[in-house]
């Protein structure tokens, strides 16, 4: 299936174009602490364009009804919009409609997989689910650089099944130690789970190499695409991953909507996690039969308006050009790292200036806690993320408990990047650190 954005990386956006795009985002028109808002926290959650807000509002004003239930006009309209949204998102990531499962967020998607595999390990799903069975002696491989959402569920799965959890370590710059990956991924490996792009360092992991290693030993691959789906051309079929997750709220859509991708034959064999109405074929007082994917994983009343709004967000990103967004963010990320690296007492976590990375940068400011850095910048109207970014093991690897992260998106300008660099340069003197 050809991907709609399967082209060479396009020409980057320009500041003039970005200034026009910013008019579409109501939240960016405000002031914070008497300053024009500089929003550099899209790695946590993105702002929403008016077209996305309008799409969700229009559903509630005109088509609000339960999907896949009832024969009246509103129910039919709602179901059509809901399933059209699924088709739109599927095209965006280069997969088939029946390979897209709606979730509340990426975290739920990973837990769905982990608990589905746990159910298979308890004998649910029969012979079709044998691929997912884990037992003592089997291994799950993840990395030292994961978000907690792609670590804690696998810890729990290992605890429930007796499997062993192993981790690929990272180098001092946050890149994976691929020689260790070759050693760790072996005959006992049943699952390899890793992030596409680190939400702390901006490192872009070698997906193709890790997929090859995993598939060479018959292991399944789970890709955390939360920091890639919003920012770069993503073709999950070409990447050949078995499962992937991403969240709508990081890609211009509302909170409460996420996506689990799975190869169709795997989803159809995986035992469900949540059960109840809408995911069944027949129900007796003693037992039930389940629908094929994706409906078998969508029990109960679904996130209808959020899914429709996610499709509107995908349409917006596609209209701008995901390849152009990626090129622009690459420029902004390099500008961030160059600027931060030039400030005495500021340490950039991850690849050094000049190395390829995504459009974000996390720093440790010598002598000043990350929360104080964030409050100082907020006083200037600059919104950044502070803390461990749900990645405590990675911060521990770098010898810090917290960092300050600036993350760019399609609506950020070079002037905003310069503003956060200027603000960061003033932090240590403000707090009297020499």
Task: From residue 96, give the alpha-carbon distance in Å to each of 87, 207, 236.
Answer: 8, 21, 10
For the cut 50, the answer to whether the pLDDT of residue 1 exceeds it is: no
- Which residue from 251, 253, 259 is spatially nearest to 305, judged by alpha carbons? 253
How much is the average pLDDT of 36-59? 98
CATH code for the domain in which residue 329 is found? 3.90.1150.10
For the cut 90, the answer to whether the pLDDT of residue 420 exceeds it is: yes
- Per-residue pLDDT band for 116 (boundaries 50, 70, 90) equals very high
Which pLDDT score, from 0 to 100, does residue 363 have?
98
Which pLDDT score, from 0 to 100, does residue 69 have?
84
Q: What is the DSSP string of 320-343?
A: H-HHHHHHHHHHHHHHHHHHHHTS
Question: Does the residue 267 lie in any domain?
Answer: yes
- The domain in which residue 416 lies consists of 15-48+321-427
Query: Which residues lie below 8 Å from residue 18, measured CB to CB, with a gap of 6+?
Result: 328, 410, 411, 412, 413
How much is the average pLDDT of 345-356? 90
Q: Are residues 191 and 311 in the same domain?
A: yes
Name the domain boundary from 270, 287, 318: 318
Question: Does the residue 163 lie in any domain?
Answer: yes
3-state secondary structure of 181: helix
Residues 52 and 58: their CA atoms lie apart, in Å, by: 10
Q: Are residues 220 and 336 in the same domain?
A: no
Q: Write down the mean pLDDT value for the chain.
A: 95
Neighbour count for residue 307 (Cβ, 10 Å):
30
Q: Are residues 150 and 78 in the same domain?
A: yes
Q: Are residues 377 and 296 in the same domain?
A: no
Percentage of the chain lying above the pLDDT 90 cut: 94
Question: Does the residue 132 lie in any domain?
Answer: yes
Active-site positions? Answer: 390
Which pLDDT score, from 0 to 100, does residue 4 have?
36
How much is the average pLDDT of 327-353? 95
How much is the average pLDDT of 74-99? 97
Q: Are residues 186 and 253 in the same domain?
A: yes
Question: Does the residue 7 lie in any domain?
Answer: no
In degrees and rounded to multiples of 5, residue 367 shows phi and psi of 85, 0
Residues 99 and 262: their CA atoms lie apart, in Å, by: 5
Q: Are residues 270 and 197 in the same domain?
A: yes
Q: Are residues 254 and 126 in the same domain?
A: yes
Task: From residue 267, give the alpha-carbon distance in Å to each of 99, 243, 254, 257, 264.
Answer: 7, 9, 26, 19, 5
How much is the average pLDDT of 259-263? 98
The terminus-to-terminus CA distance of the chain in angstroms comes to 58
Question: Does the residue 200 lie in any domain?
Answer: yes
Count structural domains, the chain: 2
- Which residue from 422, 432, 426, 420 is spatially nearest to 37, judged by alpha carbons? 420
- Per-residue pLDDT band for 10 (boundaries 50, 70, 90) equals confident
In degrees and rounded to multiples of 5, residue 123 shows phi and psi of 100, 0
Which pLDDT score, from 0 to 100, does residue 349 have?
97
Tens of pLDDT, residues 298-320: 999 999 999 999 999 999 999 99
3-state secondary structure of 146: coil
Compute the Cα dihedral for 276, 60, 80, 303 and give only its sign. Answer: negative
Residue whose entry in the numeric block shows the structure tokens 């650089």: 145
Residues 200 and 190: their CA atoms lie apart, in Å, by: 27
- As given in the structure block, the two tokens for residue 116 are 């589905």
Q: Cis peptide before 294, with omega less than 30 degrees from 0?
A: yes
Burial class (CB in 10 A: 0-12, 13-18, 19+), 226: buried
Containing H/E element for 58?
A: helix 50-58
- Which residue from 404, 237, 259, 251 is spatially nearest to 325, judged by alpha carbons? 251
Which pLDDT score, from 0 to 100, does residue 352 have?
85
Q: What is the dihedral of CA 198, 150, 299, 255, to 10 degrees?
A: -40
The whole model's pTM is what? 0.95
Q: Are residues 136 and 177 in the same domain?
A: yes
- Which residue from 12, 7, 181, 221 is spatially nearest to 94, judged by alpha carbons? 7
How much is the average pLDDT of 47-58? 98
- As given in the structure block, the two tokens for residue 47 are 């702002």
- Per-residue pLDDT band for 173 (boundaries 50, 70, 90) equals very high
Q: Are residues 36 and 63 in the same domain?
A: no
CATH code for the domain in which residue 226 is found? 3.40.640.10
Question: Which letter, b or e, does each residue of 35-56 get, where b requires 16 or more Cβ atoms within 10 Å of its Cβ?
Answer: eebbbbbbbbbbbbbeebbebb
Identify whether the C-beta of residue 303 lies closer than 8 Å to the C-beta of residue 104.
yes
- 247 Cα distance to chain centroid: 5
Identify whether the C-beta of residue 116 lies closer than 8 Å to the C-beta of residue 128.
no
- Per-residue pLDDT band for 270 (boundaries 50, 70, 90) equals very high
Q: State how beta strands 31-32 and 35-36 pair.
A: antiparallel
Query: Which residues lie below 8 Å from residue 422, measured CB to CB, with a gap of 6+?
Result: none
- As given in the structure block, the two tokens for residue 164 are 């062993």
- Which residue from 312, 324, 412 is spatially nearest to 361, judged by alpha carbons? 412
Task: From residue 67, give the alpha-carbon distance in Å to each of 14, 85, 97, 175, 300.
Answer: 41, 13, 16, 44, 10
More confident residue, 239 or 273: 239
Question: Does the residue 30 lie in any domain?
Answer: yes
Which pLDDT score, from 0 to 100, does residue 137 have?
97
Which pLDDT score, from 0 to 100, does residue 9 have?
57
Tens of pLDDT, residues 22-42: 999 999 999 999 999 999 999
For the cut 90, the answer to whether the pLDDT of residue 70 exceeds it is: no
Percentage of the chain lying above the pLDDT 70 cut: 98
Tens of pLDDT, residues 126-137: 899 999 999 999
For the cut 70, the answer to whether the pLDDT of residue 163 exceeds it is: yes
Which pLDDT score, from 0 to 100, does residue 29 have?
98
Name the domain boundary from 265, 297, 318: 318
Q: Are residues 282 and 217 in the same domain?
A: yes
Which pLDDT score, from 0 to 100, does residue 5 have?
35
Q: Are residues 298 and 330 in the same domain?
A: no
Tens of pLDDT, residues 206-233: 999 999 999 999 999 999 999 999 999 9
Question: Does the residue 129 lie in any domain?
Answer: yes
- Which residue from 229, 267, 256 is spatially nearest to 245, judged by alpha carbons? 229
Name the domain boundary from 318, 334, 366: 318
CA-based radius of gyration for the chain: 22
Q: Are residues 357 and 423 in the same domain?
A: yes
Question: Does the residue 2 lie in any domain?
Answer: no
């Amino acid at each position: 299936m050809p991907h709609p954005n399967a082209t060479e990386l396009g020409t980057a956006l320009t500041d003039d174009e970005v200034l026009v795009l910013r008019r579409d985002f109501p939240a960016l028109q405000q002031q914070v602490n008497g300053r024009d808002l500089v929003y550099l926290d899209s790695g946590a959650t993105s702002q929403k364009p008016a077209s996305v807000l309008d799409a969700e509002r229009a559903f509630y004003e005109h088509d609000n009804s339960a999907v896949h239930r009832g024969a009246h006009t509103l129910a039919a309209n709602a179901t059509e919009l809901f399933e059209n949204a699924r088709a739109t998102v599927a095209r965006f990531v280069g997969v088939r409609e029946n390979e897209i499962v709606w979730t509340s967020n990426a975290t739920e998607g990973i837990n769905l997989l982990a608990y589905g595999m746990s159910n298979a390990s308890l004998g649910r799903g029969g012979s079709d689910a044998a691929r997912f069975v884990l037992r003592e002696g089997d291994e799950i491989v993840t990395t030292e650089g994961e978000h907690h959402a792609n670590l804690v569920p696998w810890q729990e799965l290992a605890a429930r099944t007796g499997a062993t959890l192993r981790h690929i370590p990272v180098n001092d710059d946050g890149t994976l130690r691929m020689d260790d990956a070759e050693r760790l991924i072996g005959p006992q490996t049943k699952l390899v789970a890793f992030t596409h792009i680190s939400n702390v360092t901006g490192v872009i992991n070698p997906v193709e190499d890790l997929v090859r290693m995993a598939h060479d030993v018959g292991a399944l691959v789970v890709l955390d695409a939360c920091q890639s789906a919003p920012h770069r051309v993503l073709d999950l079929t070409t990447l050949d991953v078995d499962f992937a997750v991403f969240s709508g709220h990081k890609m211009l859509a509302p909170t409460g909507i996420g996506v689990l991708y799975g190869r169709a034959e795997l989803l159809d064999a995986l035992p469900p996690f949540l059960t109840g109405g809408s995911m069944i074929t027949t129900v007796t007082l003693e037992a039930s039969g389940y629908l094929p994917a994706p409906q078998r994983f969508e029990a109960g009343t679904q996130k209808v308006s959020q899914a429709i709004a996610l499709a509107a967000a995908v349409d917006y990103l596609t209209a701008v050009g995901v390849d152009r967004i990626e090129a622009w963010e690459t420029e902004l990320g390099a500008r961030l790292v160059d600027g931060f690296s030039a400030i005495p007492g500021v340490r950039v976590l991850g690849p050094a200036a000049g190395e390829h990375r995504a459009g974000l940068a996390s720093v440790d400011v010598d002598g000043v806690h990350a929360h104080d850095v964030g409050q100082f910048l907020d006083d200037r109207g600059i919104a950044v993320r502070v803390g461990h970014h749900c990645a405590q093991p990675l911060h521990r690897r770098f010898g810090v408990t917290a960092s300050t992260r600036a993350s760019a998106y399609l609506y950020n300008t070079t002037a905003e990047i310069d503003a956060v660099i200027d603000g960061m340069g003033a932090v240590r003197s403000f707090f009297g650190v020499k």
